Structure 1
Amino acid sequence: MTTTPDAFAATRPRLHAIAYRMLGTRADAEDVLQDAWLRWQQADQAALQSAEAWLVTVVTRLSIDRLRAAKAERADYIGCWLPEPLVEVEERTPETMAELASDLSVAFMWALERLTVDERAAFLLRQAFDRDYDEIAAMLGKSEAACRQLVHRATERVRQGQRRFEVPRHTHRELLAKFMHAAQTGQTQAMEALLAADAEFVGDGGGKMPASSKVLQGGHRIANLYGVLPSKVEGGVDYRLAEVNGEPGLLRYFGGQLESAQAFVTDGERIVAIYVVRNPDKLQGIAQQLH
């Protein structure tokens, strides 16, 4: 099938979605797409039966190679590793909706971190991008039976590591607005009432900003963590509602400077998990975007 010069551009959103979900950072995803584009330019495009299939295979394999290297680097990462947040300050645009066609919440990406490289690739290709097992086998260089087993194991591990609830968007946003107001004014008891007793808090400072090296548990403990900030931070603490990886979240500012991007999981009545990215390297893109 003859391809067109725009085939790469037309497929780019899907390619970026695959690379980001595999790698968790925009910089790594963009590097993979750049390498894929160079290979695309060198390929005999007219001889390809499917430009999209070829490009997806190339991006998947490049992402796997890069993720293997990243896994070794993350073994030395200080504290918890969370993905680089994707932030939209306003409501989703049609373009954003297309980008978020499959799950990329911070909670989901956090759960993916417990998978091996091959499990992550097989699981995402099957569950997020609906690829057939014969395609996955060809991309990963494994048998269909092996790929089915990879997806099965990955699905079980993701379920164990992710707390999922089907909550209406407006409910999520309203609960978060209440939490934001309480946090803004240091109302510890009000925050604790909005948090599940067994709520979890995951912070990523990357060794560059203070953050717990382990997952913190307990609504009372988390409420106190937020409650002391207004009186301790010079210049004050401010919050802003935002879309963080496709879900209602918060941006927090210390003295007018972006300090963190925060994602929340709720059961519709209480907040059950909070993911806070403080690592300044992962916030650079957000700050540039807002400016």
Structure 2
Amino acid sequence: MSEAVPDPAASFLPVRPALIGLGYRMTGSWATAEDIAQDVYLRWQATDRAIVALPRAWLMKAAARLALDHLKSARVRREDYVGPWLPEPVLDSEAAPQEAAWARSETLSLAFMLVLERLSPPERAIFILHDLFDTNFGEIAGLLGRSEATCRQIAVRARAKLGDAAPRHGLAATESDSLTQAFFAATQSGDEAMLRHLLARDVVVHTDGGGIRPAALKLIYGDDKAARMFAALARKRAGAARSMLFAGLINGEPGYVTLEPDGLPQVTVLTIADDRIAAIYIIRNPEKLRAIADQLGLSLT
């Protein structure tokens, strides 16, 4: 009797978090990352697995190719995106796209994901595969059809573009929770003085509505403009209910999910430095909130 064909799931499932992590960091989309992982699994099922010496390398290579294809087309579509673009947010949970706990806060933050946008698709692929997922340059060279030396040069160029842009987290969880709750309360009440107290002088506010929901079309710089904007929004709501559905880590940073007066969720993520809020990321585009809505039992219709 011939030997039974090994179950493809047995070799795929342990690698699936890495595939989603790679896809998410490459594309900025949780949904796309899950689709990539599913597509890789279908290809893995159809492959003669008996001749694959290193299943993880095969699976990562397949995911990287799919992510590169998506990234190239997404960059064209993004040229027509309305307002600032932000990645899809991910609640900090066991389902987060990661291989190790350290990766959650350092390479999943929205700040770092935005920094990755500086890289060309090949630079992004090589940096993520090598520096974040420990893939050797020989394997990467085979993936991209370039020499190993060229891949090393591209990796150096990518690191130079990124510089020291990875975010630093200096507050204990209790301190960041307190600051997050204070910020939410101030945006509810429109307390402009409290907002200025909480914000860093050079705070930057990113708002992503995708042209679907109202949002600022440009970044907002400085504590004065930011405080006035949040105070004005509170006055505009004038008693309309906003309920907090989740408070905790989102993409490794403190944040919360609210149900807004229009009946749709909104995600707010804070970057905290030196006891002040240094950056604010507000995601309102419902197309980027489907995974979080599902987790929280919300309907986007």
Answer whether TM exceeds 0.5 for this pair: yes
2:169 is the alignment partner of 1:166:
yes
2:36 is the alignment partner of 1:32:
yes
Percent of matched pairs sharing the same residue:
37
2:212 is the alignment partner of 1:219:
no
1:114-193 equivalent positions in 2, closer than 5 A: 114-159=118-163, 162=165, 164-170=167-173, 171-193=175-197
* Alignment correspondent of 2:273: 267
Cα deviation for residue 215 of structure 1 reads 1.7
For the aligned residues, what is the CA RMSD?
2.2
Contact 2:24 2:97 in 1 (8 A): no
Question: Quick one: structure 1 residues 175 and 156, their matched pair in 2 at CA, closer, same or farther if it must change by over 3 Å?
Answer: farther
Contact 1:242 1:251 in 2 (8 A): no
Q: Higher mean Cα deviation, 229-238 or 5-14?
A: 229-238
* Alignment correspondent of 2:242: 237
**In structure 2, distance between residues paired with 1:95 and 1:67:** 21
Question: Quick one: structure 1 residues 255 and 14, their matched pair in 2 at CA, closer, same or farther if it must change by over 3 Å?
Answer: same
Taking structure 1 as the reference length, the TM-score comes to: 0.90
Aligned length: 286
Contact 1:235 1:256 in 2 (8 A): no
Once the two structures are superposed, residues 163-202 of structure 1 have per-residue CA deviations (whole angstroms, 9 ceiling, x without a partner) of 6223134233332222122222221111111111111111
Question: Quick one: structure 1 residues 130 and 169, their matched pair in 2 at CA, closer, same or farther if it must change by over 3 Å?
Answer: farther
Once the two structures are superposed, residues 77-133 of structure 1 have per-residue CA deviations (whole angstroms, 9 ceiling, x without a partner) of 111111111124xxx459787565422111111111121111111111122112222
Report the 3-state secondary structure (helix = DSSP H, G, I; strand = E; otherwise coil) of the residue aligned with 1:251: strand
Report the 3-state secondary structure (helix = DSSP H, G, I; strand = E; otherwise coil) of the residue aligned with 2:126: helix
Structure 1: 5+ residue runs without aligned partners? none
Question: Quick one: structure 1 residues 18 and 274, their matched pair in 2 at CA, closer, same or farther if it must change by over 3 Å?
Answer: same
**In structure 1, distance between residues paired with 2:259 and 2:216:** 19
Name the amino acid aligned to 1:51: P
Question: Quick one: structure 1 residues 159 and 209, their matched pair in 2 at CA, closer, same or farther if it must change by over 3 Å?
Answer: farther
* Alignment correspondent of 1:12: 16
Contact 1:230 1:237 in 2 (8 A): no
Q: Higher mean Cα deviation, 136-145 or 121-130?
A: 136-145
* Alignment correspondent of 2:75: 71
**In structure 2, distance between residues paired with 1:134 and 1:202:** 39
Taking structure 2 as the reference length, the TM-score comes to: 0.87
- Alignment partner for residue 48 of structure 1, among 36, 47, 52? 52
Question: Quick one: structure 1 residues 21 and 97, their matched pair in 2 at CA, closer, same or farther if it must change by over 3 Å?
Answer: closer
Report the 3-state secondary structure (helix = DSSP H, G, I; strand = E; otherwise coil) of the residue aligned with 2:66: helix
**In structure 1, distance between residues paired with 2:272 and 2:138:** 37
Name the amino acid aligned to 1:212: A
* Alignment correspondent of 1:108: 112
* Alignment correspondent of 2:255: 249
Report the 3-state secondary structure (helix = DSSP H, G, I; strand = E; otherwise coil) of the residue aligned with 2:15: helix
Question: Quick one: structure 1 residues 99 and 76, their matched pair in 2 at CA, closer, same or farther if it must change by over 3 Å?
Answer: farther
Cα deviation for residue 4 of structure 1 reads 4.8
Contact 2:118 2:161 in 1 (8 A): yes
**In structure 2, distance between residues paired with 1:148 and 1:192:** 45
Report the 3-state secondary structure (helix = DSSP H, G, I; strand = E; otherwise coil) of the residue aligned with 1:181: helix
**In structure 2, distance between residues paired with 1:163 and 1:128:** 12
Name the amino acid aligned to 1:231: R
Once the two structures are superposed, residues 233-255 of structure 1 have per-residue CA deviations (whole angstroms, 9 ceiling, x without a partner) of 26233444232112211223323
Report the 3-state secondary structure (helix = DSSP H, G, I; strand = E; otherwise coil) of the residue aligned with 1:58: helix
Question: Quick one: structure 1 residues 98 and 39, their matched pair in 2 at CA, closer, same or farther if it must change by over 3 Å?
Answer: closer
Cα deviation for residue 135 of structure 1 reads 2.2
Cα deviation for residue 218 of structure 1 reads 0.5
